[in-house]
Chain A
């Protein structure tokens, strides 16, 4: 016997919201909250940061999309060579996502103990709603991370067209270098067919220069962070580098230079964006991606200052420039390939001496007091590499705090206690070293 009528009797009338619009609303709320704490949680932000705050607001809070006229190529890892995409007239848009809302919905496709970033990226793709662009023509996936690699079939099931770029796991051998060069050449051919354009010597050269100019702008910005006192806080640096994921590259480069001009003035005036005793922190590990900038924010709310990083959402994006011997097309493509493989310090490699060296080097050049190492719970390679990195840093007398996190905002209490205690211990250490120095004079 069937019966029609209300499903249940209730006192309160309510309308159930459409899941898709609810999801979108939650994302926007998350973005507003994060942006507010980055922007208004601190006083005296550099004026030139307004461009970046505004950009994130437009894209993530007001739903504006960019690059409507060009082929948009979604990238699942920073090892996808931007130079080739630009040379073929496309725009690379990084898909790595930082939303808790998406992490939760993406959890449907992944085992419980898996990376927040991969879950969030799947969650976003499943919604067919990429905040930065209104469509994706093509996704390229270098086979770096296992969890992403295994997600590709899921992403294809969602209706996307995905291209795999085979990426080697061993960096030192000549075989891996050749293997990766071939991958890059095949990718260039495939993309050329998809976009329907030819890769030319001229367009390749221009693209290499375009990316190099962006790299130089970033290097200028990092150089400014070597100053003590520092002219800007690390939370802003992360926002700037996050903008590189999707902003127009030339506009981005100009904006970074404008910011650097302002910061240079601050340096000349002896301005301090942190406080007198703020320990200088080197951040490493799983990448902070907007709006999940909670760790850099927590460090700076606890009176530390992130002056350098070794992560794929900032420093690693810009390391090593393409170095070309002969400006012929194939030499340029091979040189692009080399830049990506040799400069990469991702923990997916068998050995990772380069990452250790880079951290030790950054610690020295940026006068680092302590290292904060974040691993997204479930990212095995970062979790595993933590011990060897800790040992390496011990050798040079730099304390390291290791934290496992995910995108949940409710982790505040325990996490902030750890961060604060770490910063407090660094301050005591710093004071003692200062005393000793003064005593010696």
Chain B
């Protein structure tokens, strides 16, 4: 049985997905990318193969994606994370219906992708160059509030009253704004909710540029944060679709592309 690997080397995490000849997921792994993208990606792939019980040589074709995609020299092909995300979302979101709008929040950027009926990328929008409204922004805020990133969701739902406004679009300035709010004796809960709503507003503004279609699919690590999901839903006024494993959509897309490319190569 041939296997296909999709490796998504992001700014915060390395995500690997292995699929079989039917395009079904046989293994997945998320690990920190740290400072040595290439080394950690290789180690992570070895570990995943071991866990799944296959040999690395059983992998017929590998596609890498993400910021570190070009560093993974063993890849047969590289692809931008936008195209990979689109392919992955169509598969992972099959049970929701036809996905035509994707919101992705990553470690250092956020993006919205618009797809056509067939799943091809028709347009996309990305935030510019700073950590505003990204996973990094949540990290910085959580660190300042002395809570774990995983706890942010819990805090969100414990907030009371109107959410506080965090107006700064920059992670660095937002931190000073958070300090200001703490100085005014606002609770951590209210601040967390304020942060979520400010990210939600930003990402919706970005998504409007590509069009808000029926089903909005949200992926990337921050999609695990239920507080943020709720904030986006509240701002949109409707439910959004979250896949079972939001972190690996892009890696899945790369793996599926690997399968497809290999098919082409065979023929």
Contact = CB atoms under 8 A, between A and B. Distances in A.
A and B: bona fide binding partners: yes
Interface of A: 399, 404, 411, 413-414, 417-418, 420-421, 424-425, 428-429, 432
A425 B128 CA distance: 20
B155 interface: no
Interface of B: 67, 79-83, 109, 120-124, 126, 128-129
Contacts of B109: 414
Given A413-B67, A432-B120, A425 B83 contact: yes
Contacts of B128: 404, 414
Contacts of A421: 80-83, 121, 124
A146 B52 CA distance: 63
Contacts of B122: 399, 425
Contacts of A429: 120
Contacts of B83: 421, 424-425
B126 A414 contact: yes
7 nearest A-B pairs in the assembled complex, by CB-CB distance: A421-B82, A420-B80, A421-B80, A425-B121, A424-B83, A428-B120, A413-B67
A417 B120 contact: no
Contacts of A428: 120-121
Contacts of A425: 83, 120-122
A429 B122 CA distance: 9
Nearest to A432: B120
B123 A417 contact: no
Contacts of A418: 82, 124, 126
Given A421-B83, A425-B83, A414 B124 contact: no
A240 B83 CA distance: 34
B150 to A, nearest CB: 27
B80 A417 contact: yes
B120 to A, nearest CB: 5
Contact of B121 (A404, A414, A417, A424): A424
A399 B124 CA distance: 11
Contacts of B120: 425, 428-429, 432
Nearest to A400: B123
B186 to A, nearest CB: 30
B209 to A, nearest CB: 10
B129 A411 contact: yes
Name which of A413, A418, A424, A425 has the most chain B CB atoms within 10 A of its CB: A425
A414 B129 contact: yes
A424 B129 CA distance: 22
Nearest to B81: A417
A433 to B, nearest CB: 12
A424 B82 CA distance: 9
Name which of B80, B122, B124, B126 has the most chain A CB atoms within 10 A of its CB: B80
A424 B126 contact: no
A432 B122 CA distance: 13
A374 B67 CA distance: 22
A378 to B, nearest CB: 12
B11 to A, nearest CB: 9
Contacts of B124: 418, 421
Given A418-B82, A421-B80, A432-B120, 19 more contacts: A399-B122, A411-B129, A413-B67, A417-B67, A417-B81, A418-B124, A420-B80, A421-B81, A421-B82, A421-B121, A421-B124, A424-B79, A424-B80, A424-B83, A425-B83, A425-B120, A425-B121, A428-B121, A429-B120
Contacts of A432: 120
Nearest to A413: B67
B256 to A, nearest CB: 15
Contacts of B67: 413, 417
A399 B123 contact: yes
A420 B66 CA distance: 12
A414 B80 CA distance: 10
A417 B121 CA distance: 14
A404 B121 CA distance: 21
A417 B120 CA distance: 17
A192 B81 CA distance: 59
A429 B124 CA distance: 15
A132 B44 CA distance: 52
B250 to A, nearest CB: 12
Nearest to A411: B129
Contacts of A399: 122-123
Contacts of A424: 79-80, 82-83, 121
Nearest to A429: B120
Contacts of A420: 79-80
A131 to B, nearest CB: 29
Contacts of B80: 417, 420-421, 424
7 contacts: A414-B109, A417-B81, A420-B79, A421-B80, A421-B124, A428-B120, A429-B120
